[in-house]
Amino acid sequence: MAYDQNSPQRPRKRVTRQVLRRRQFTALAIIALIVLVFVILIAHGCSKDDSKGSKKTDTPAVTTTVPTEEPVYTDAPTEAPTEAVTTVDPAAAQVQLSKREVFVDIGQRDVAIIQAYPDGSSEANEIWESKDPTIASVDNLGYITGVSAGETYVILKFSNNPGIEIEIKVHVADNGLTAAPADSSTDTTTTAASGLL
């Protein structure tokens, strides 16, 4: 079709800024929707791959953490690195303690604070007992007291969850004689200060 110079030209339709902005917004909304659909499809595809790779077992194994560190006998609480321990009872993994190892001197007290209870249990269900009360005793609130030098375990049980038994290792030192050496500058300052009194 040839262009006819004698025919009047059609006037160009003018687009207002408002119409142009609406078109741009609509285009951005469509692009965002397409990107969202791709992200959902990718996430859905990844979750199918993960579920195919996992195997189901008859007895679920739960990983809990137990602190391990060299004995340090101080009154201040210490942070300890943890190592994983596998247990068969999943309810035992729900129990979270502030520490799983306690260092005390003879006559000194310490406590492992329960930070999370198993389902259905509370402070009223706690049962505390010492494996060797001649080394360390424990009261019904979980306060552990050093009786004589040695190592033993304190057991935490729950009256309404008989399958749960949590062991807390207790190290009792002979009034600091086997404790880790203190900083010499602190000893000098303490000795000097006590000499002035």
Q: Read off the pLDDT of residues 23-38 as tens digits, 9 standing for 90 and up.
A: 999 999 999 999 999 9
CA distance 95 to 112: 12
Task: Report the phi/psi class of residue 43: left, alpha or beta, with left for phi > 0 and alpha for psi in -120 to 50.
Answer: alpha
Token pair of 196 as six digits: 């002035």
pLDDT of residue 146: 92
pLDDT of residue 180: 45
Q: Which residue would you say has higher pLDDT here, 164 or 134?
A: 134
Q: Please determine, for residue 20, whether its predicted confidence score (pLDDT) is greater than 60.
A: yes
pLDDT of residue 65: 53
| DSSP symbols for 74-139 | -SS-----EEEEEES-HHHHT-EES-SEEEEEBT-EEE--EEEPPTT--GGGEEEEES-TTTEEE-
Query: What is the chain's length?
Result: 197
CB 116 within 8 A of CB 134: no
pLDDT of residue 64: 53
Q: What pLDDT digit, counting tens, does each position of 42-91 carry?
A: 888 877 655 555 555 444 455 555 555 555 555 545 444 444 344 456 66
Token pair of 39 as six digits: 């992200």
CA distance 156 to 115: 13
Entry pTM: 0.45
Mean pLDDT (whole number) for 93-119: 86
| CATH top-level class of 62-173 | mainly beta
Q: Which residue would you say has higher pLDDT here, 107 or 84?
A: 107
pLDDT of residue 69: 55
Choose the weakest-confidence range: 31-35, 97-101, 159-163.
159-163
Q: Which residue would you say has higher pLDDT here, 35 or 117?
A: 35
